[in-house]
Structure 1
Amino acid sequence: MRSLRLRLAVGAVIAIGLVLLVAWFSLTRLFTDHVVGRYRSEMMTTVDTLAAELVLREGRLMLTGEPADPRFDLPNGGRYWQISPVDGSNSLRSRSLWDVSIDSDAPPNSHYEGFTTSEGPDGRPMLVHSQTLSLGEEPRPVRFVASAAFPQRELDEALNDFQAPLQLMLLATAGVLAAAAFFQNAIGLVPLRRLSERAAAVRAGRERDFGTSGPSEVQPLVSEINLLLKEREVAVERARARASDLAHGLKTPLTVLAQLADRLPAEDRALALRQVELARQRADRQLQAARMGVERMATTSVMGLGGKLVSVLRPVTAERDVAWEVSIDSSLSLDVDPADLAECLGNLLDNAAKWARSFIRFSARRVNDAITIVIEDDGPGIAEQDRDAILKRGARIDSTDEREPEGAGLGLAISADIADAYGASLTIDQSDLGGLRARLTFPVRVVRRPLRDPV
């Protein structure tokens, strides 16, 4: 379970469920005890009234008056009483019992909520409260059991009538608490969402750090991330300085070597100059790779950058009457450093401008979760067996064409490396124009990956 929202939701559901379960049992028990207490008090009052009306006449128990409740006088009236002498002599009972006697010696397992159970005149169970009393003076008092009873269904109905609204109340409470927990989760996770947006802004180059605002609970994390960003910025500056030093350090020796190569015999001069140019290009590629590893990302408009590159190359191809077709959605943008994207597209456009005979097509559009950039020309293209090799590091396709300068052949491989660094892909195939088609596919949400070691 990796989602904080899901964890909080599950925790809230469990907590709410436990609390409501405890509330259910507690309220049910309290109400049951209250109702049972009311019935027990009524039955005890009936027994006390009977005991107060009992007299002894000729050694037999007799009632001088009966409880006033009219239900005792109706057959199966719902309230019952009975006086049972311990010596087994005839019992006294209410008319409501009709021809049924209360079992005052019920076993323990027949108890229900503190009452004993007995069969009522309608065949249904009734709940009985009994007390053993005595009347008369020593040495021969008369002992008897006074019992009062009522139908068990009355108690059950009273409890059921309470359960229905209690269920509705607890369900409504659960809904309110769940909504409150959801709202609390939504409010509580807002700072994390803001941190995520801030991280996206930092990654896109719109912000330098996470700032200092936010809840105190996440401030230690924010402070540590800000420190890491500062350390990264220092490392970037150092890398830039080292790259600049390397560029200057290589420039002078290569220039000297080129001058010395001019003094060589004609048959060796071309080979030497070609090797010097290869060394210069590979050094440039190393510097490009180092810069890609440290530059800050930014959001780049494909139309804006592509239009600038085309405006630079169009005059170069104008003398050969090469036509350009540019079809780019103006809303497209990539989270790619502008210099990296310019280098990647520039190499591909430069290759198309170099080899096109009369037409170049430059298009970009979004398909699902990817942005596809396609550059096509009507030139000679590249043989199918050489298309994979031209994108590999250190590979070079020899050509006798007079338009290919000495030491060329690294542009497409550099573009492939830049695309790979941003999680994109570069594919080369045959265009329907007859020449080369280069297809760049970038994910909409670019995540920069470590660059492969260049050659």
Structure 2
Amino acid sequence: MIHSLHFRLAAGALVAIALALTLVWAVLSHLFTDYLADQYSNEMTSVMDSLAARLSVENGALELKNEPADSRFQIPAGGRYWQISPDGNEEPLRSRSLWDEEITADDLSKDMYCGFRETDGPDGSPLLVSMKTMALGEGDAKKNFTVYAAFSKPEMDAALESYHRPLRLMLLSTGGMLLLAAFLQGWVGLRPLVRLRDRVADIRAGRSSHIGTEGPSEVKPLVREINLLLSERETAIERARARASDLAHGLKTPLTVLSHLVEALPEGQRDTALQQIELVRQRADRQLQAARMGVEQMATTSLLGISGKLVNVLTPFTEEKGIDWHLDIDPSLTVQADPADIAEALGNVLDNAVRFARTRIDLSAGRSQDDVVLSVSDDGPGADPESYNLMLKRGVRIDEGTAGTGLGLAISGDILEAYGGRLDLSASRWGGLQVKLMLPAMAGRPPAIA
């Protein structure tokens, strides 16, 4: 199935122009052919009538007082021919141009060519022949005869070709100009859709909230429907934000009460209960963050800016462990995503690197085909390649002796997937873990979470 409007319009114009020009060719060619045939037919009729007027009967035989003055009749194969064939066994009278050739009714073709019958001329080229049966005298002296007038068929073909050649050039030039006009018409006609696409892109990027109503009348109903859809979406966003806020406030009080209640428990049970309460609080925060992903406005996020802020926050912890940071990020490198989402996804990965790194953490970013790749590498103990898939699952910790909930990488993966990206794990060149956060260079808007 063809999805391009440009191609459909061009194909439709090509078919319509081809059909129209073919029809014009057929009509003009037929009209000129009929006109030319009429001219030759009138000329041959005039020759036959002129010959008949110059005939007389002398001693029972036909005699021609004088021949037509056209010099072509006097030259062998001169292009014009005449012959008078009396009934009976009398020798026919004929022009010198026929030389020794005689035109007979039996030799004439059965099929007509532009109203003429065809036969071979003295030089072997075809002749087009007109014929007329006449009579001269009365009573016993009446003589019946047939008059033939002919001309060269190549002469008529050459006349037709001399007309068709410029006609073909004219129609081809006209077709080319019409195709160009059709292309320009399609390009100009589809410009409002291009502008509409740009306005929708501005809305998706958070630079605008609605589409302007200016434009062609054919596009205005679509614009109106899109604006109504955006209004309904804004209403749904506000409701989602309100529900998220209500949920956040609703969880704070029960969790606080539970935290106070467990203080009365024995020490071992209290620590376990507090750990579980904190886990519930963290999971609730994660879910609220995920809910906000679907309703936040898109923005252009600088990877160097967001990375620098996270590194500044984590630097006090890495200084205590003697870990050095190495950043290599182009200041102009950006992604179209909410800064909070990128901070959440990158922060989880950096937190994991800080926990396991020994002396260094490398943070770099670059482009790979259509993706922006943010890479975090450390020189920690790393992990077996067989365990990479497990590390991306929720609640799974490879090293049970370390703190954490096992949710960080899984949450980062969820955030990237919401933007059409992914998380990739591999071994770093120092033997630790390398985590690549891949996002489309033009990330799409994350889907709303119901």
| TM-score of the aligned structures, taking structure 2 as reference length | 0.92
Distance in 1, Cα, partners of 2:249 & 2:269: 27
Offset of residue 77 of structure 1: 2.0
Alignment of 1:257-272 (within 5 A): 257-272=258-273
* Inter-CA distance 119–436: structure 2 relative to 1 (3 Å threshold): closer
Tell me which amino acid in the other structure corresponds to 1:221.
L
Gaps of 5+ in 2: none
Q: 1:304 to 1:222 in 2, by over 3 A?
A: same
1:106 offset after TM fit, Å? 5.2
Q: Give the Å deviation of 1:451.
A: 7.8
Aligned to 2:310: 309
Judged with a 3 Å threshold, the aligned counterparts in structure 2 of structure 1 residues 379 and 77 are, in CA distance, closer, same or farther, namely closer
Partner of 2:429: 432
1:23 equivalent in structure 2: 24
Alpha-carbon distance change, 432 to 451 in structure 1, aligned in 2, over 3 angstroms: farther
* Distance (whole Å) between structure 2 residues aligned to residue 256 and residue 396 of structure 1: 30
Say which is worse superposed, 255-264 or 294-303, in terms of deviation.
294-303
Matched residue, 2:166: 165
> How far apart in 1 are the matches of 2:129 and 2:282?
107
CA distance in 2, matches of 1:198, 1:180: 28
TM-score, reference length from structure 1? 0.92
1:372, distance to aligned residue in structure 2 (A): 0.9
Unaligned stretches of 5+ residues in structure 1: none
Contact map agreement 1:106 1:116 (CA 8 A) in 2: no
Name the structure 1 match of 2:234. 233
- Secondary structure of the 2:197 match is helix
Post-superposition Cα deviations, 1:230-252, rounded to whole Å, max 9, x if no partner, equal 11111111101100000000001
| 1:127–1:150 Cα contact (<8 Å) kept | yes
Q: What secondary structure is seen at the aligned counterpart in 2 of 1:182?
A: helix
1:352: Cα distance to partner?
A: 2.2
Between 290-299 and 246-255, the greater mean CA deviation after superposition: 290-299
Partner of 1:189, secondary structure, is helix
Q: Secondary structure at the match of 1:80?
A: strand
SS in structure 2 of the partner of residue 9 of structure 1: helix
User: What is the deviation of 1:69?
Assistant: 0.6
Distance in 2, matches of 1:259 and 1:433, equals 46
Written as runs of structure 1 = structure 2, the 5 A alignment for 1:34-73 is 34-73=35-74
Task: Give yes or no for contact 2:345–2:415 (8 Å, CA) kept in 1.
Answer: yes
Mapped partners of 2:379, 2:56: distance in 1: 128
Q: Please name the residue that 1:222 is paired with.
A: 223
Tell me the alpha carbon deviations over residues 219-274 of structure 1, each in whole angstroms, 9 at most, x when there is no partner: 22222122111111111111011000000000010011001111111121011101
Number of aligned positions between the proteins: 449
Residue 348 of structure 1 aligns with which residue? 349
Distance 1:56 1:203, change over 3 A: same
Name which of 409, 413, 416 aligns with 1:416: 413
8 Å contact kept, 2:291–2:449: no
Is the CA contact (8 Å cut-off) linking 2:364 and 2:376 kept in structure 1?
Answer: yes
Deviation at 1:394, TM superposition (A): 3.4
- Separation in 1 of the partners of 2:443 and 2:67? 94
Q: 2:442 aligns with which of 441, 445, 448?
A: 445
**Residue aligned with 2:209, SS:** coil
Q: Secondary structure at the match of 1:442?
A: strand
Deviation of residue 310 (structure 1)?
1.9
Give the letter aligned to residue 149 of structure 2.
A
- The corresponding residue for 1:116 is 117
AA of the residue aligned to 1:421: A
Corresponding residue for residue 207 of structure 2:
206
SS of residue matched to 2:130: strand
The answer to whether the 8 A contact 2:395-2:405 is kept is no
Distance across 1 between alignment mates of 2:88 and 2:342: 111
* Rounded Cα–Cα distance in structure 2 between residues aligned with 1:253 and 1:397: 32
Q: How far does residue 449 in structure 1 lie from its aligned partner after superposition?
A: 5.4
Partner of 1:300: 301
Q: Match for residue 181 of structure 1?
A: 182
Of residues 285-294 and 236-245 in structure 1, the stretch that sits farther from structure 2 once superposed is: 285-294
